[in-house]
């Protein structure tokens, strides 16, 4: 495991906290306990069925109380200090902890009102509810209050990749969890409420609507959808980066002004199926892609980095791990807003030609590689 140490503990209110120590870390083995006196955790939210779409909506009102753009001296993701009673008691390299205001959980699949499997969730009726079981976690990429994932060292990025893999495995094993989704929101234009470099992991009690649509495509397609898609993109002129184990490209039917996908060159269902060598390689590849996105303009580009993984219990031999980086930035000073057609009807209109976006990203990658070699 690349000499990355995993050190689980708990916060004062019982939430799980896991430290992931870099290979070659200088941090001590023992960490300070959480000295805070915290209120009990909020009750688990309730999901409601949208009968018009079949989608489940978690009504998690406790999230209204979450921190909103606090000053750096009160950063809740920095290590605790005398003046800042943050969420993480000790110094760390990478830290993962249960969200204090979760969208799903802390109750799990054995709780009262929990979904009774995918068949139960698919049943349609007016006014259906279920308990929003599952888990939502925060992944702190670095203890510093400023910066981004692109600023990490390869060694630190490798620790984050290990955290994603370890947590995907652990969360997939929890009762009632159907899908695990690591992601990062970066930039106020995306809706970020904390500037600290961090991401999240959601463990859903259902298969998400986006993945459900993908499963329909996989079932309807005559062949190996992901293998054929990868071969098609590798043969085209939208490839931005290709390594031994991964290929990054602007997709043929890109929706967003900046849209960059990454696929493993072999089938893996999720992070847990990557080899150690592939995880080592991925750390550097991902850093290069994010630095290329930032090199498109003179200021950092807002983005969502979404790691799509196969559901826990279905289609694991046909849905491949894939990264989708998207940004609404269509020019240095312009954003794409989802208005009538996209937001209301889900009917997308692309603002930029994907082949031209790929050309710009290749040039930005060359610039980033020259300015910030790994």
Distance CA 141, CA 163 (A): 10
Radius of gyration of the chain (CA): 21
Distance CA 195, CA 206 (A): 30
Distance CA 60, CA 299 (A): 34
Reply yes or no on whether 198 is catalytic: yes
Q: Write down the catalytic residue from 37, 144, 196, 198.
A: 198
> What are the tokens at 214?
């993908």
Q: Which of 132, 83, 91 is nearest to 111 (CA)?
A: 132
Distance CA 95, CA 25 (A): 14
Distance CA 118, CA 81 (A): 45
Angle, helices 154-172/276-294, rounded to nearest 10 degrees:
120
Q: Under a CB-based contact definition with an 8 Å cutoff, are residues 283 and 158 in contact?
A: yes
Q: Under a CB-based contact definition with an 8 Å cutoff, are residues 154 and 283 in contact?
A: yes
Q: What 8-state DSSP symbol labels residue 273?
A: G
Catalytic residue IDs? 198
């Amino acid at each position: 495991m690349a000499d990355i140490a995993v050190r689980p503990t708990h916060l004062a209110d019982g939430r799980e906290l896991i430290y992931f120590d870099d290979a070659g870390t200088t941090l001590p083995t023992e960490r300070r306990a959480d000295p805070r006196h915290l209120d009990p955790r909020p009750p688990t939210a309730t999901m409601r069925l949208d009968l018009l779409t079949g989608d489940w909506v978690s009504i998690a009102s406790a999230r209204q109380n979450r921190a909103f753009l606090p000053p750096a001296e009160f950063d809740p993701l920095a290590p605790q200090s005398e003046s800042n009673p943050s969420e993480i008691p000790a110094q760390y390299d990478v830290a993962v902890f249960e969200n204090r205001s979760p969208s799903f959980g802390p109750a799990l699949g054995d709780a009262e009102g929990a979904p009774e499997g995918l068949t139960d969730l698919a049943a349609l009726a007016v006014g259906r509810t279920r308990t929003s079981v599952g888990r939502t976690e925060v992944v702190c990429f670095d203890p510093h209050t400023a910066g981004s994932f692109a600023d990490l060292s390869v060694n630190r990025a490798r620790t984050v990749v290990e955290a994603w893999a370890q947590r995907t495995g652990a969360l997939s094993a929890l009762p009632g969890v159907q899908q695990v989704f690591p992601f990062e929101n970066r930039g106020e234009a995306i809706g970020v409420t904390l500037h600290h470099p961090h991401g999240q992991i959601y463990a859903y009690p259902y298969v998400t609507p986006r993945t459900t649509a993908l499963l329909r495509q996989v079932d309807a397609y005559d062949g190996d959808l992901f293998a054929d898609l990868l071969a098609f993109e590798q043969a085209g002129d939208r490839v931005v980066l290709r390594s031994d184990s991964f290929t990054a490209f602007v997709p043929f039917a890109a929706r967003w002004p900046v849209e960059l996908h990454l696929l493993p060159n072999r089938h893996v269902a999720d992070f847990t199926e990557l080899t150690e060598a592939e995880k080592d390689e991925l750390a550097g590849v991902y850093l290069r892609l994010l630095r290329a996105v930032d090199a498109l303009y003179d200021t950092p580009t807002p983005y969502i980095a979404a790691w799509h993984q196969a559901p826990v219990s279905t289609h694991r031999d046909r849905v491949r791990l894939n990264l989708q980086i998207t940004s609404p930035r269509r020019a240095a000073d312009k954003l794409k807003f989802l208005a009538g057609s996209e937001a209301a009807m889900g009917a997308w209109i692309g603002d930029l030609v994907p082949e031209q976006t790929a050309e710009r990203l290749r040039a930005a990658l060359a610039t980033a590689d020259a300015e910030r070699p790994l």
